[in-house]
Amino acid sequence: MGSCLSVTVARDRCYTRAFRAAGLRATDVTLGDGATVHIWVPRLPDRSRPALVLLHGFGATATWQWAPYLGPSSAPGSTSTYGGFVGYRVAALYPGAVERVVLICAGVCLEERDLAAGLFVVSDVADAAGILLPQRPEKLRQLVRLTFCRPPRVMPTCFIRDYIQVMCRDYVKEKTELLHALIHDRKLPDLPRITQPTLIIWGEQDRVFPLELAHRLKRHLDENCQMVVIKNAGHAVNLEKPKEVCKHILAFFLDSGSQISTTGTWYNGLMFKNTFNEHVTDKHRSLR
C-alpha cells in the first residue's frame, strides 16, 4: 500500500499534528556514545515548574501513545522519551534530581530465569522478539491479543500489513539486541532500590508482564511505593482505562505539591526537580 493511500501514515500524520497543536515540537538529542534520542519538548517551556518526562513503552512511539489524549492545555512542562527500564535507571542514577516516579506495567523486576520458569507466554528472547517486533500479520494479531484485555474482534489483514510496513520495519536488529541486553543475566538482587516516592499501576489481566511482577516490585521497593491494580485491563491499560489511569497519576503527582500542567495517559513518567540540570552536570563530572 503506497504511502499516499496508507491508513497508518495518515493516522501518524494526524497524531503528529495533534502534538504540534498541543504546543510541542520535535527535536533530536545526541548522546555521548553517538546514539540519537528523538523527543518532543514544549515550544515555550515554563522553567518555574518541575519537568515531567513521559516515557513510552517498547516498540511504541510517543505520538501513537499519547496523541489521542492531548489537548491545547496538556503539553507545557512535558517531554517524552523511552520506557520504564530507562526511567527506573534514571531515578536510580539521579536520586537528587528525580522527585517522583510512575511505572505502568513496567517489568523492571523480571529475572532471566522467569522465562524458563514459565512466567511469560514465551520461553526465550527470540520468541519474545518475534511477538514484540511483529513482521507478519499473525504475530501482530498475537501481540494485540496479549496486550489488550478485550482485543478488537476484527483486524483486517490489509490494515495489519500496512501497519507492519510503516511502524515495525525500522531498527529491528537494534531492538532485538536491546531485548537481549535487558533480559540477559538479569537478577532481582542486582536491581537498585530507588528512593523516590513511586506509583505502580498495573492491568489486572496483563499477559505481557504478569501481575506477579507488580507485587514483586512492590515488595522490592517496600514502603516507598503505592500500587494500583486496574480491573478489566491488560498491558495496554493506558488505552483501555485512560480516565482511571490519569486519575491515579494526577493524584499522585499533585500530592507532591507541584504545579503540573498536563493531562492524558502514558506508560511511565518521571517528575524532575527544578535543579535537574545541576544534578546531571555534577553526575557527569563525577563519572569523568
Tens digits of residue pLDDT in 196-238 = 999 999 999 999 999 999 999 999 998 889 999 999 999 988 8
The number of C-alpha atoms within 13 Å of 276 and in the hemisphere containing its C-beta is: 17
What pLDDT is stored for residue 207 in this prediction?
94
Look at the pTM and tell me if it is higher than 0.85: no
Per DSSP, the three-state class of 101 is strand
CATH number of 24-111+189-287: 3.40.50.1820
Q: Are 202 and 104 in contact (CB under 8 A)?
A: yes
Largest CA distance in the chain: 55
Rg from Cα positions in the chain: 19
Q: How far is residue 60's CA from residue 203's CA, in Å, rounded to a whole number?
A: 18
User: Angle at CA 246, nearest 5°, toward 193 and 129?
Assistant: 60
Q: What is the DSSP letter of 122?
A: -
What pLDDT is stored for residue 1 in this prediction?
52
In the chain, where the domains are located: 24-111+189-287
Q: How far is residue 120's CA from residue 154's CA, in Å, rounded to a whole number?
A: 25
Residue at 76: amino acid letter: P
Q: How far is residue 154's CA from residue 144's CA, in Å, rounded to a whole number?
A: 11
Beta strands at 24-30 and 36-42: parallel, antiparallel or unpaired: antiparallel
Q: Which residue has the cell 503505592?
A: 226
Q: How far is residue 181's CA from residue 200's CA, in Å, rounded to a whole number?
A: 24
Q: How far is residue 242's CA from residue 101's CA, in Å, rounded to a whole number?
A: 18
Residues of the chain with confidence (pLDDT) below 50 = 72-82, 259-267, 275-288
What pLDDT is stored for residue 65 in this prediction?
76
